[in-house]
Amino acid sequence: MIEATGLIKRYGEKVAVDDLSFSVRPGIVTGFLGPNGAGKSTTMRMIIGLDSPSAGKVTVNGRLYAQHRAPLHEVGALLEAKAVHNGRSARNHLLVLAATCGISARRVDELLDLVGLSAVGSKRIGGFSLGMGQRLGIAAALLGDPATLILDEPVNGLDPDGILWIRNLLRTLANEGRTVLVSSHLMAEMALTADHLLVIGRGRLIADVSVADFIREASSGLVDVRTPDGDRLREVLVGPTVHVTSTAPGRLQVSGLTSDQIGDLAAAEGIRLHELIPQQASLEEAFMDLTHDSLEYQRSDEVA
Amino acid sequence: MTVTEIVRPMSIPRMSDAEVAAVHVSAPRVIRSEWLKMRTLRSSWLTMALAIASVPGIGIAIAWSTERDWANMRVREKGHFDPLGDPLSGFNLAQLAIGVLAILIVAGEYSGGMIRATLAAVPKRVPVLAAKVFVFTTLTLVTMLPTAILTFFVSEHILSAVHIQTSWSTPNVSRIVIGVALYLTVVAALAMGIGAIVRNVAGGIGAFVGILLVLPVIAEALPQTWGDRINKWLPSNAGQALMSVASDNTTLSPWRGFIVFSAYAVGTLIVAAVLLRRRDA
């Protein structure tokens, strides 16, 4: 459980995080979504005490992160920027972190195995690919068997295989009852990964919604229908709150009815349907709509 | 969720309850971690090897060449030779190596981002700096003390061939030999403080060299009445008083100088600790 109340971070004149209050619950994957520069990384750094808030506070399981006696058992973090020394081997990197709170070398080896780095454990991190670096970061985050995980853009730079692996990992961690906060600037990725969304822009909380609600709200309510009996269907469907338009012969766009209702009505009249597709605005579009006003680096011609 | 996906549950290794109960941060564990950090970098080994080799390497070379050349040396040259201090002059190179390594240990964590992992593991922060200082000053002392003593005995043995050796029991000799190791130990502490304040390897080494090596050279240019009053208080001059045979009004007495030098190091480390707590990582 992560709880932020009135969190503010200023860098001189610039406000990076502006009065954020939210809570991240255990047992689900919470997506932390926002455009680049929205304040996601800064917020995550404040959760584990790397940056101190200008005002407000954020606690992990009821306490400031620094007050826990076994911080790595409380929170495992994968931050966007690499947090390693390139001259050290992967295994030694983990051993160094494990040593701070008495985690065994056996556990280090188990985690190297989990992330598939056993074979290169003795190699210097400097020679690692982006994907290997991310995997090492995941192993470091899991080192203390933490109740809470904070992952900043974990799929950045990964191949499709790696992305799927991360999704499975996040799902498994949440199913085990852990608190999982994962940031991204890609809505589509969040739709696949997260159960709940915290959307921020310019340091402010824009939305705190479940992914299901977000997708429902994002859908336009239009249903595309393809049928050889277009004229008959139109007569059946049209009503005071129902609009039907046609873009081509045999193709209808219906608003005011759900796809279920259209299908049932058509079946009752014996009308053949070849396609019945509820139209969803793309999630990226919905996300853009939501965050449009808060883009930090907006193209000037986009400013209305 | 409206988007279905195939979840392949993974088996993530868990810690047993007994393991969880034993997991917490403690001073010995942070020290162990810092010791491990130092041992697992190649640069530590190379730089430390240079520091250790420089004192006997230079000392024996000086003693041996002097012994070979003694018969041909002029009287004035012979008079300039210090059979105690000259064979120990390798400490000048050793202090550079130790200072550079101290700064690498502290500021090197900032160049790659390791500091974020370190401070996430030990969020109280100051124990990290304390452990680094403890580990490296201890290492410096336990390596440089035998090194200095060994250098003394080997070079005096070489010089005994021409009967210009000095002995351990001669007044001030033991203090000066041990002083080499003590001086270098405080150099390590001071350099770590500088590294922690500057947080950048190149900048840290620049500041270290400037304060310890360049400042005394510049101060030489001061008018004598000013210089005599100021120069002895400069960090390295104060510290090296411990390695001088006699003191006059232009130097501090050996132990007083050493205490002043140590105070510089402690002061620098206190500033470093306060900044470490305050600044964002």
**Confidence (pLDDT) at B6:** 60
B79: domain range? 26-278
User: For position A103, which CATH number holds?
Assistant: 3.40.50.300
Same domain, A47 and A187: yes
Same domain, A154 and A206: yes
Angle, in degrees to the nearest 10, between helices B201-209 and B173-198: 140
Same domain, A119 and A252: no
Domain membership of residue A199 (yes or no) is: yes
Among A40-44, A287-291, B43-47, B151-155, the range scoring the smallest mean pLDDT is A287-291
Same domain, A255 and A205: no
The residue length of chain A stands at 304
Q: Position of tokens 């992560």? A: A2
Q: Of A30, A50, A85, A94, which to mutate for an interface test with B (greatest number of B Cβ within 10 Å)?
A: A85
Same domain, A35 and A169: yes
Kindly tell me if the per-residue pLDDT of A281 is higher than 80: no
Domain membership of residue B270 (yes or no) is: yes
Looking at chain A, the whole-number percentage of residues with pLDDT higher than 90 is 63
Per-residue pLDDT tens for A90-130?
A: 999 999 999 999 999 999 999 999 999 999 999 999 999 98
Contact A61, A74 (CB under 8 A): yes
Domain membership of residue B116 (yes or no) is: yes
Kindly tell me if the per-residue pLDDT of A296 is higher than 60: no
Domain membership of residue A99 (yes or no) is: yes
Mean pLDDT of A38-45: 94
Domain membership of residue A80 (yes or no) is: yes
Identify the H or E element spanning A21: strand A14-24
**Confidence (pLDDT) at A284:** 73
Mean pLDDT of B196-208: 97
Q: Does B114 sit within 8 Å of A101, measured CB to CB? A: no
Kindly tell me if the per-residue pLDDT of A298 is higher than 80: no
Residue of A nearest to B278 (CA): A52
Question: What residues are paired with A232 via a beta bridge?
Answer: none
Identify the H or E element spanning A224: strand A219-226
Who wins on pLDDT, A56 or A159?
Answer: A56
Q: Does A171 sit within 8 Å of B37, measured CB to CB? A: no
Mean pLDDT of A135-151: 96
**Confidence (pLDDT) at A113:** 95
Q: Is A81 exposed, middle or buried (0-12, 13-18, 19+ CB in 10 A)?
A: exposed
Same domain, A17 and A138: yes
A260: closest CA among A276, A271, A237, A248? A276
Domain membership of residue B18 (yes or no) is: no
Per-residue pLDDT tens for B91-140?
A: 999 999 999 999 999 999 998 899 999 999 999 999 999 999 999 999 99
Residue ending a domain, among A216, A241, A259, is A216
The contacts found for B63-66 with CB under 8 angstroms, 24 or more apart, are B63/B87, B63/B154, B63/B155, B63/B156, B63/B158, B63/B159, B64/B158, B66/B159, B66/B162, B66/B164
Kindly tell me if the per-residue pLDDT of A47 is higher than 50: yes
How far is the CA of B200 from the CAs of A145, B108, B194, in angstroms? Answer: 33, 7, 10
Residues of A within 8 A of B13 (CB-CB) are 107, 110-111, 114, 145
Among A2-16, A106-120, A240-254, the range scoring the smallest mean pLDDT is A240-254
Contact B257, B251 (CB under 8 A): yes
Among A171-175, A217-221, B145-149, B189-193, the range scoring the smallest mean pLDDT is A217-221
Domain membership of residue B2 (yes or no) is: no
Same domain, A257 and A130: no
A153: domain range? 2-216
Contact A225, A232 (CB under 8 A): no
Same domain, A50 and A197: yes
Total tally of structural domains belonging to chain A: 2
Looking at chain B, the whole-number percentage of residues with pLDDT higher than 90 is 84
Total tally of structural domains belonging to chain B: 1
Give SS3 for A170: helix
Domain membership of residue A304 (yes or no) is: no
Q: What is the 3-state secondary structure (H, E, C) of B59-79?
A: HHHHHHHHHHHHHHCCHHHHH
Domain membership of residue A34 (yes or no) is: yes
Average pLDDT taken over every residue of chain B: 93
Which sign does the torsion angle of CA B162, B163, B169, B172 carry? negative
Same domain, A112 and A186: yes
**Confidence (pLDDT) at B42:** 93
Domain membership of residue A291 (yes or no) is: no
Same domain, A233 and A190: no
Binned at pLDDT 50, 70 and 90, residue B248 comes out as: confident
Domain membership of residue A185 (yes or no) is: yes
**Confidence (pLDDT) at B4:** 47
Residues of A within 8 A of B130 (CB-CB) are none
**Confidence (pLDDT) at A118:** 95
Same domain, A151 and A243: no
Domain membership of residue A221 (yes or no) is: no
Binned at pLDDT 50, 70 and 90, residue A78 comes out as: very high
Q: Is A14 exposed, middle or buried (0-12, 13-18, 19+ CB in 10 A)?
A: exposed
**Confidence (pLDDT) at A21:** 96
**Confidence (pLDDT) at A293:** 63
Q: Which residues contact B17 (CB under 8 A, 6 or more apart)?
A: none
Q: Does A172 sit within 8 Å of B10, measured CB to CB? A: yes
